């Protein structure tokens, strides 16, 4: 499985991990911590006030206990106004009352006041007339904060309000204990925790200000989270936006497509990936405008989107290409549905003729479940590339069509990769072999020339015909190296035969169309042949008719120079194109090769005979020799001889052969004409290389 580009995988991960809930959870966590801190600070402040008030009362009660312990009565309290009016009780260790002044209002809550930080814990008993103190779950006395609300909101607080000097303060009763007489008796004194209004106001102000600050911080955090989420959502939308169609782009297709394929609710669906192409889109833009072309792409995107289900998607890939994910039940139904989509798109503009080609790769059940019942992650980039490969098989036509990806395309692509990987080493190791196909004079059946053809004799892949690798070289540009290779080897063979005294005839070597656009080609060929020392007239430079449609000026200069240097120049495949006569008019050629298509049928047809005979007459009028290639039947040979054709190349006389066999033909030791069996093992028509 091909891997995604690292950058795309990283982007996909980042976008897929984006989730607003993460921000919300973060905010809730911060809010919880903030209010916990606020509550802790307020509680600490309250404890501080409570400690300061209770500790002051504890000192008074402790002093009363010491005086009582010394005097054994409360007579000493008479001179102390703050103690004279206080209620107190003295008990033994068993709780029996030994002395009492005032009402006994001690409650059941009895524990240490642990909130008094830093000082020795004070043992106290709550007053039963109030619930100001309570015992927590650990058995410790704590403050009931519910009483710290404004007193005018609670009738219960009115009982704790006393006025002194015109000021209303809160007094919360509490019994504090002090052991006397070596712990044999306990002195209980009634204390009052006084909370002044200014203390309460300050406490309320402190809590309010702190609460507002916490709230402001939380609001800012929340606003930041919301703003970030909105910005990120906009960024994601922009990132997934296709600027041409205003729909979705390729990255969205990859991420959304994988999500669809992995969802359980779609697990029963079979899916197909489509590469849909607007045929001749660039021509449409040239004839109209880029703006009109983009409007058409928008229409395509909208029309197809309207025909898709929830679990189907489309995105604009590039130029005129759209990626589509469809679900299907069987291939016939899929093909029928794609046909309807194409039909809908072809009719979207009533003026212009529009065609669409679609490459299809079916994912099928192979991706529905993987190991342990889990759905496998499909590499949509690879599958779309396969769909593009299938669609490319339709590129030679301008008509609408549908092509399905299959294993044959996989094999073809693997072979292309193999050829490209081996091309340099094969050239260096001279694995390419020159085969020669003789040309004979039809009137006396004498050898008059030959064409050099190529075979690849690979140690790993065996003997391969040119049709399996030459088209690949023509596409990747390696063909120019093959041209030089063939010219050098043919020149070397000719020089060798000439030195041995053999009667050499001209051998034609095909030079590719790509090579002919070079302005110094004639000098390059001359120098290459001169290194070997072969006479120029023993080499014929052959070019195809299609080469004439490139740079005619450069072509004419090259042909003129080649002829000046003594090379023969021929045009191959005459009659396969539509501008042959115009090419003959402009180019000074030496040899005209009649395309094998002229002789693939029956020459008894009067129209066919007229075309061939007139072509030969035309060539003779232009002082050109004629070669008929692809000739297989004696009747064809006889007809061409009557018409004055100079040479015949075809299976009737000889098939392409290794150099050793061709050498025998040159010496005349092998004059055997191939039988029908000899021509049955390959293509009967003449090869271009």
pLDDT digit string (tens) for 643-681? 999 999 999 999 999 999 999 988 876 554 544 333 333
Show which of 332, 366, 398 is a domain's final residue: 398
Asked if 556 contacts 517 with a C-beta cutoff of 8 angstroms, the reply is: no
| DSSP result, 591-634 | EEEEPGGGGSS-TTSHHHHHHHHHHHHHHHHTT-EEEEES---H
CATH number of the CATH domain containing 436: 3.20.20.450
Q: Give CA separation, 513 vs 1, 473, 498, 536, 572, in Å.
A: 37, 12, 30, 21, 12
User: Within this chain, do residues 531 and 389 fall inside the same structural domain, yes or no?
Assistant: no
User: Which of the residue ranges 57-66, 70-79, 172-181, 445-454 has the most confident prediction, judged by mean pLDDT?
Assistant: 445-454
Name the DSSP class of 535: -
User: Within this chain, do residues 393 and 455 fall inside the same structural domain, yes or no?
Assistant: no
Q: Give CA separation, 410 vs 323, 365, 385, 445, in Å.
A: 20, 19, 11, 47
Task: Please report how many Cα atoms fall inside a 13 Å half-sphere around the Cα of residue 104, on the Cβ side.
Answer: 12
Three-state SS at 572: strand
Distance from C-alpha of 599 to C-alpha of 631, rounded to nearest angstrom = 6
Distance from C-alpha of 604 to C-alpha of 635, rounded to nearest angstrom = 9
Q: What is the pLDDT at residue 111?
A: 66
Whether 540 sits among the annotated catalytic residues: the reply is no
Q: What is the pLDDT at residue 519?
A: 80
The number of domains in the chain is 3
User: Within this chain, do residues 380 and 418 fall inside the same structural domain, yes or no?
Assistant: no
Distance from C-alpha of 435 to C-alpha of 456, rounded to nearest angstrom = 10
Three-state SS at 648: strand
Catalytic residue among 185, 629, 663, 687: 629
Q: What is the pLDDT at residue 333?
A: 92
Distance from C-alpha of 85 to C-alpha of 74, rounded to nearest angstrom = 11
User: Within this chain, do residues 504 and 620 fall inside the same structural domain, yes or no?
Assistant: yes
CATH number of the CATH domain containing 372: 3.30.70.270
Show which of 209, 231, 259 is a domain's final residue: 209
Distance from C-alpha of 493 to C-alpha of 529, rounded to nearest angstrom = 11
H/E segment holding residue 304: helix 290-305
Instruction: pLDDT band for 200, please (50, 70, 90 cuts).
Output: low
| DSSP result, 214-251 | HHHHHHHHHHHHHHHHHHHHHHHHHHTB-TTTSSB-HH
The residue segments making up the domain with residue 329 are 250-398
pLDDT in tens, 632-649: 889 889 999 999 999 999
Q: Which of 226-230, 391-395, 398-402, 613-617 is predicted least confidently?
A: 226-230
Q: What is the pLDDT at residue 400?
A: 92
- Asked if residue 164 has pLDDT above 80, the reply is no
Examine residue 215 and state whether it is found in any structural domain, yes or no: no
Examine residue 14 and state whether it is found in any structural domain, yes or no: no
pLDDT in tens, 326-354: 999 888 999 999 999 999 998 887 777 88
Q: What count of other Cβ atoms lies within 10 Å of the Cβ of residue 82?
A: 11
Name the DSSP class of 537: G
Show which of 209, 242, 261 is a domain's final residue: 209
pLDDT in tens, 54-95: 778 888 888 888 888 888 776 667 666 667 778 888 898 888
Examine residue 688 and state whether it is found in any structural domain, yes or no: no
* pTM, two decimal places: 0.60
Q: Which of 238-242, 435-439, 490-494, 557-561 is predicted least confidently?
A: 238-242
Examine residue 233 and state whether it is found in any structural domain, yes or no: no
- Which residues have a Cβ under 8 Å from the Cβ of 239 and sit 6 or more positions away? 11, 15, 251
- Which residues have a Cβ under 8 Å from the Cβ of 429 and sit 6 or more positions away? none
- Which residues have a Cβ under 8 Å from the Cβ of 465 and sit 6 or more positions away? 455, 682, 683, 687
- Asked if residue 627 has pLDDT above 80, the reply is yes
Q: What is the pLDDT at residue 686?
A: 40
Q: Give CA separation, 584 vs 388, 567, 570, 591, 621, in Å.
A: 40, 18, 11, 11, 11
Instruction: pLDDT band for 135, please (50, 70, 90 cuts).
Output: low
Examine residue 430 and state whether it is found in any structural domain, yes or no: yes
User: Within this chain, do residues 287 and 170 fall inside the same structural domain, yes or no?
Assistant: no
| Token reading at 214 | 């916490």
Examine residue 163 and state whether it is found in any structural domain, yes or no: yes
User: Within this chain, do residues 178 and 259 fall inside the same structural domain, yes or no?
Assistant: no
Residue in the structure block whose two tokens are 């006397």:
180
Distance from C-alpha of 388 to C-alpha of 395, rounded to nearest angstrom = 11
How many Å is the maximal CA-CA distance in the chain?
163
CA nearest neighbour of 360 among 329, 333, 338: 338
User: Within this chain, do residues 477 and 380 fall inside the same structural domain, yes or no?
Assistant: no
Q: What count of other Cβ atoms lies within 10 Å of the Cβ of residue 664?
A: 13
Q: What is the pLDDT at residue 368?
A: 45
What does the pLDDT average to over 269-288?
Answer: 89
pLDDT in tens, 529-547: 999 999 999 999 998 766 6
Examine residue 240 and state whether it is found in any structural domain, yes or no: no
Asked if 656 contacts 465 with a C-beta cutoff of 8 angstroms, the reply is: no
Q: What is the pLDDT at residue 146?
A: 54
User: Within this chain, do residues 512 and 608 fall inside the same structural domain, yes or no?
Assistant: yes
What does the pLDDT average to over 353-368?
Answer: 77
Q: What is the pLDDT at residue 23?
A: 66
Q: What count of other Cβ atoms lies within 10 Å of the Cβ of residue 615?
A: 23
Instruction: pLDDT band for 367, please (50, 70, 90 cuts).
Output: very low
User: Within this chain, do residues 434 and 523 fall inside the same structural domain, yes or no?
Assistant: yes
User: Within this chain, do residues 387 and 422 fall inside the same structural domain, yes or no?
Assistant: no
Q: What is the pLDDT at residue 7?
A: 54
Residue in the structure block whose two tokens are 């070079």:
518
Instruction: pLDDT band for 10, please (50, 70, 90 cuts).
Output: low
User: Within this chain, do residues 657 and 604 fall inside the same structural domain, yes or no?
Assistant: yes
pLDDT in tens, 99-116: 888 888 887 777 666 554
Examine residue 148 and state whether it is found in any structural domain, yes or no: yes
User: Within this chain, do residues 44 and 159 fall inside the same structural domain, yes or no?
Assistant: yes
Residue 380: Cβ-neighbour burial (10 angstroms; 0-12, 13-18, 19+)? buried
Share of the chain above pLDDT 90, in %: 32
| DSSP result, 364-400 | GGGGT--GGGPPPPP-HHHHHHHHHHHHHTTTT--S-
Asked if 579 contacts 548 with a C-beta cutoff of 8 angstroms, the reply is: yes
């Amino acid at each position: 499985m091909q891997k995604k580009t690292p950058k795309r995988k990283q982007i996909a991960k980042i976008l897929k991990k984006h989730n607003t809930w993460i921000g919300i959870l973060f905010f809730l966590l911060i809010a919880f911590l903030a209010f916990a801190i606020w509550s802790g600070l307020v509680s600490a402040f309250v404890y501080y006030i409570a400690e300061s008030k209770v500790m002051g009362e504890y000192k008074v009660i402790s002093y009363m206990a010491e005086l009582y312990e010394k005097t054994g009565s409360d007579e000493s309290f008479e001179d102390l106004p703050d103690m004279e009016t206080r209620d107190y009780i003295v008990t033994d260790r068993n709780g029996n009352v030994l002395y009492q002044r005032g009402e006994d209002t001690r409650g059941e809550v009895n524990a240490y006041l642990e909130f008094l930080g830093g000082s020795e814990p004070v043992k106290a008993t709550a007053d039963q007339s109030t619930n100001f103190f309570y015992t927590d779950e650990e058995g410790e006395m704590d403050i009931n904060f519910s009483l710290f609300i404004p007193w005018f909101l609670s009738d219960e607080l009115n009982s704790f309000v006393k006025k002194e000097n015109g000021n209303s303060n809160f007094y919360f009763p509490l019994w504090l204990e002090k052991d006397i007489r070596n712990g044999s008796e306990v002195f209980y004194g009634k204390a009052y925790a006084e909370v002044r209004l200014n203390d309460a106001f300050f406490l309320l102000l402190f809590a309010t200000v702190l609460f507002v600050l916490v709230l402001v911080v939380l609001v800012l955090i929340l606003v930041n989270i919301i703003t970030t989420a909105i910005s990120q959502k906009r960024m994601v939308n922009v990132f997934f936006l296709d600027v041409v169609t205003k729909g979705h782009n390729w990255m969205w297709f990859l991420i959304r497509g994988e999500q669809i394929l992995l969802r359980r609710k779609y697990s029963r669906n079979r899916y197909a990936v489509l590469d849909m192409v607007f045929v001749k889109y660039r021509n449409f833009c040239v004839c109209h405008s880029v703006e009109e072309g983009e409007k058409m792409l928008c229409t395509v995107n909208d029309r197809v989107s309207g025909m898709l289900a929830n679990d189907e998607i489309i995105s604009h890939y590039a130029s005129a290409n759209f990626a589509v994910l469809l679900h299907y039940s069987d291939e016939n139904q899929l093909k029928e549905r794609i046909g309807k989509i194409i039909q809908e798109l072809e009719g979207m503009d009533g003026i212009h003729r529009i065609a669409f080609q679609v490459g299809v790769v079916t994912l099928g059940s192979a991706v529905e479940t993987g190991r342990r019942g889990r759905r496998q992650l499909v590499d949509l980039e690879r599958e779309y590339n396969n769909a593009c490969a299938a669609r490319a098989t339709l590129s030679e036509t301008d008509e609408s069509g549908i092509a399905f990806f299959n294993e044959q395309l996989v094999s073809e692509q693997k072979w292309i990769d193999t050829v490209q990987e081996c091309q340099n080493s094969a050239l260096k190791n001279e694995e390419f072999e020159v085969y020669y196909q003789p040309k004979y004079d039809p009137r006396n059946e004498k050898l008059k020339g030959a064409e050099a053809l190529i075979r690849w004799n690979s140690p790993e892949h065996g003997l391969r015909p040119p049709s399996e690798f030459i088209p690949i070289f023509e596409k990747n540009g390696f063909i120019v190296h093959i041209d030089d290779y063939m010219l050098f080897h043919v020149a070397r063979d000719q020089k060798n035969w000439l030195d041995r005294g053999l009667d050499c005839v001209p051998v034609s070597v095909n030079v590719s169309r790509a090579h002919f656009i070079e302005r110094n080609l004639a000098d390059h060929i001359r120098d290459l042949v001169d290194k070997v020392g072969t006479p120029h007239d023993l080499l014929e430079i052959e070019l195809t008719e299609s080469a004439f449609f490139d740079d005619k000026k450069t072509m004419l200069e090259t042909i003129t120079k080649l002829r000046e240097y003594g090379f023969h120049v021929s045009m191959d495949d005459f009659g396969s194109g539509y501008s042959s006569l115009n090419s003959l008019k402009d180019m000074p050629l030496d040899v005209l090769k009649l395309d094998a298509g002229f002789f693939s049928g029956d020459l008894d047809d009067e129209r066919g005979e007229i075309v061939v005979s007139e072509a030969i007459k035309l060539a003779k009028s232009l002082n050109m020799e004629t070669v008929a290639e692809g000739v297989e039947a004696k009747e064809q040979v006889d007809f061409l001889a009557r018409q004055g054709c100079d040479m015949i190349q075809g299976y009737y006389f000889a098939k392409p052969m290794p150099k050793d066999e061709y050498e025998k033909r040159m010496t005349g030791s092998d004059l055997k004409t191939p039988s029908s069996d000899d021509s049955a093992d390959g293509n009967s028509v003449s090869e271009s290389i």
